[in-house]
């Protein structure tokens, strides 16, 4: 099967080359090797395990059946996020099956001694928002969660990836995972991003370039000046969507921006300066070899909008909906035609003429305070279009509080946006927040799959600023021309 499998393992424990120069991945890998057999997967230690209500009940049940404890409860934190309502938290959850799932998480955490940030705790929120904001997520760590967007935490120079429920159980029982060492793929973005072009546009552009399976079998390392200049929250947006390129994880080497973000966060090491000294040794050595490297120019990236039913089906806001005939590949032609049909779009339509009736600003990709500030800057002095129903869902209780302290919620509600409680919400529409069939949504989330935001719903992925502008105009607009008030 040559390279066709998703794993294409390299030798467990081997560094990328013989010179001794190591990549960021090599260093983290070596520091976490518990057992490296001659062949087959290595056993690697897991520093932090994030748990939520949807992918954990069967794992806890497995522990119970086999009479196994959670090996390291202090390295495990849990919160309900996927399936929680984002309306009034003082009311009981209406859907009995959802309520049962959240109660099951509560009972499991109690039984196995795992810390839970419950629905009424200010620390509750999307797992990939609360890990970093509380300082649990730190450089050099191995971090897993039964959620594919765990790649988010790689923004801190950690190795972080999503796992299935059987692996959740494996980590709960052993604090380790069986892993083949992934290959490394450097995506370097040189130069600067133009005004109005965001981290979301960068990652959508990169996925468009390498495709939704372009990163399969790899850990992506994002490098270059345009990446270095990103804030931590922007870096999280970039790493978050690594999985949409098929990659196991995405990482960005830690630097002063990382250390400044972490200093003072509650769960950071007591001797923070000593920790920083160790973290400074993590970045890839000069001359360390990646298995693959691609180089892009920041100035080539324009605001992006997805037009299809996977995140690789994306184009610039100033272009038009593509035609199946644009490609010579039969498979691409077929998937383009099928996507256009589902999305009810005609090839050749300018992106700025696509009208929307829903807007979702939220998700582990774009629900942090900076995302909300970016949306507020666009919205201020404007009003949501009458034909658009727009909702803003903060990533955590803390993000919500911070936004309210800054008065952002007033800007949103005055402009006719719905301001809600924290959770995954309409990113995956497990809770009551969903699209009706045929509704078209500008969304800051990460997946535009068929039915992702509700059966028959149509999703266009964009940055928070682009989503806010679309809400105001009722159609996509090029944010580079925006009238900031």
Partner 1 sequence: MQNFTVHQGVVATLDRANVDTDQIIPKQFLKRIERTGFGQFLFFDWRFLEDGETENPEFELNRINVKGASILLTRQNFGSGSSREHAVWALDDYGFRAVIAPSFADIFFNNCFKNGVLPIALSEEDVEELFQRAEKGNPYQLTVDLENQVITDGQGFERSFEVDESRRHNMLHGLDDIAQTLLHEEKITAFEEARG
| Cα distance between residue 133 and residue 364, in whole Å | 12
- Helical H runs in 121-198? 127-133, 165-174
DSSP helix/strand/coil, 96? helix
Minimum gap (Å) between residue 177 Cβ and partner 1: 9
Minimum gap (Å) between residue 406 Cβ and partner 1: 32
| Cα distance between residue 233 and residue 412, in whole Å | 21
Residue ranges of the annotated binding site are: 364, 424, 427
Comparing CB distances to partner 1, the nearer of 40 and 407 is 40
Comparing CB distances to partner 1, the nearer of 55 and 463 is 55
> Per DSSP, which regions of 328-419 are E strands?
358-361, 389-392, 418-419
Minimum gap (Å) between residue 424 Cβ and partner 1: 10
Minimum gap (Å) between residue 386 Cβ and partner 1: 29
Q: b/e for 421-449, b at 16 or more Cβ within 10 A? A: bbbbbbbbbbbebbbeeebbbbbbbbbbe
Minimum gap (Å) between residue 409 Cβ and partner 1: 28
Comparing CB distances to partner 1, the nearer of 209 and 299 is 209
Minimum gap (Å) between residue 121 Cβ and partner 1: 22
| Cα distance between residue 189 and residue 331, in whole Å | 29
Tell how far CA 435 is from the center of its chain.
21
The phi, psi pair for 147, rounded to 5°, reads -160, 130
Residue ranges of the annotated binding site for [4Fe-4S] cluster are: 364, 424, 427
Question: What is the strand order of the sheet 176-179 is part of?
Answer: 33-35, 42-45, 176-179
Q: How many helices (H) and strands (E) does the chain have?
A: 15, 19
Read out DSSP for 403-443? HHHTTHHHHHHHTT-EE--SS-GGGTT-SS--PPTT-EEEE
Minimum gap (Å) between residue 133 Cβ and partner 1: 22
Q: Which of 396, 361, 362, 367 is nearest to 468 (CA)?
A: 361
Comparing CB distances to partner 1, the nearer of 77 and 232 is 77
Comparing CB distances to partner 1, the nearer of 216 and 316 is 216
Comparing CB distances to partner 1, the nearer of 428 and 471 is 428
Comparing CB distances to partner 1, the nearer of 175 and 299 is 175
Minimum gap (Å) between residue 181 Cβ and partner 1: 13
Give, in degrees to the nearest 5, the angle at Cα 37 between 33 and 40: 105
Comparing CB distances to partner 1, the nearer of 28 and 428 is 428
Minimum gap (Å) between residue 109 Cβ and partner 1: 14
Comparing CB distances to partner 1, the nearer of 91 and 97 is 97
CB-CB contact of 204 with 307 (8 Å): no
Q: Which of 227, 244, 241, 254 is nearest to 158 (CA)?
A: 254
Q: How many C-beta atoms surround the C-beta of residue 31 within 10 A?
A: 16
Residue 214 burial (10 A CB sphere; 0-12, 13-18, 19+) = buried
The phi, psi pair for 412, rounded to 5°, reads -65, -50
């Amino acid at each position: 099967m040559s390279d066709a499998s998703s794993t294409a393992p390299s030798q467990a424990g081997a560094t990328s080359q013989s010179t001794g120069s190591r990549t960021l991945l090599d260093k983290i890998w070596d520091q976490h090797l518990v057992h490296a057999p001659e062949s087959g997967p290595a056993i690697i230690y897991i520093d932090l395990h994030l748990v939520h209500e949807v992918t954990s009940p069967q794992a806890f049940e497995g522990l119970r059946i086999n009479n196994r404890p959670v090996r390291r409860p202090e390295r495990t934190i849990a919160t309900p996020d996927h399936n929680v309502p984002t309306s009034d938290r003082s009311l009981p959850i209406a859907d009995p099956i959802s309520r049962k799932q959240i109660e099951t998480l509560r009972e499991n955490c109690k039984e196995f001694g795992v810390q839970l940030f419950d629905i009424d705790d200010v620390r509750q929120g999307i797992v990939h928002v609360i890990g970093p904001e509380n300082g649990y997520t730190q450089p050099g760590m191995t971090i897993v969660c039964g959620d594919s967007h765990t790649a988010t935490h790689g923004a801190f120079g950690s190795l972080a990836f999503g796992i299935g429920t059987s692996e959740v159980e494996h980590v709960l029982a052993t604090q380790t995972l069986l892993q083949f060492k992934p290959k490394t793929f450097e995506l370097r973005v040189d130069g600067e991003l133009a005004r109005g072009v965001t981290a979301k546009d960068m990652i959508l552009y990169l996925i468009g370039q390498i495709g939704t399976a372009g990163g399969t079998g790899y850990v992506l390392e994002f490098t270059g000046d345009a990446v270095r200049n990103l804030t931590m929250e922007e870096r999280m947006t970039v790493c978050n969507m690594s999985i949409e390129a098929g990659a196991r994880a995405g990482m960005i080497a830690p630097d002063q921006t990382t250390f400044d973000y972490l200093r003072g966060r509650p769960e950071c090491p007591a001797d923070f300066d000593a920790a920083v000294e160790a973290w400074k040794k993590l970045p890839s050595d000069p001359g360390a070899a990646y298995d693959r490297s691609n180089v892009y120019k920041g100035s080539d990236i324009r605001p992006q909008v997805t037009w299809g039913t996977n995140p690789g089906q994306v184009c610039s806001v100033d272009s038009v909906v593509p035609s199946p005939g644009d490609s010579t590949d039969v498979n691409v032609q077929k998937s383009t035609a099928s996507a256009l049909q589902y999305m009810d779009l005609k090839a050749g339509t300018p992106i700025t003429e696509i009208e929307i009736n829903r807007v979702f600003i939220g998700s582990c990709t774009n629900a942090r305070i900076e995302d909300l500030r970016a949306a507020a800057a666009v919205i201020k002095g404007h009003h949501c279009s009458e034909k658009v129903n727009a909702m803003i869902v903060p990533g955590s209780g803390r993000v919500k509080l911070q936004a309210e302290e800054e008065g952002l919620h007033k800007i949103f509600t005055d402009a006719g946006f719905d301001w809600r409680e924290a959770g995954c919400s309409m990113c995956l529409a497990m809770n009551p927040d969903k699209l009706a069939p045929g509704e078209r949504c500008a969304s800051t989330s990460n997946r535009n799959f068929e039915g992702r935001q509700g059966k028959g719903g149509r999703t266009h992925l964009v940055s928070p600023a682009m989503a806010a502008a679309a809400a105001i105009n009722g159609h996509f607009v090029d944010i580079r021309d925006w009238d900031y008030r």
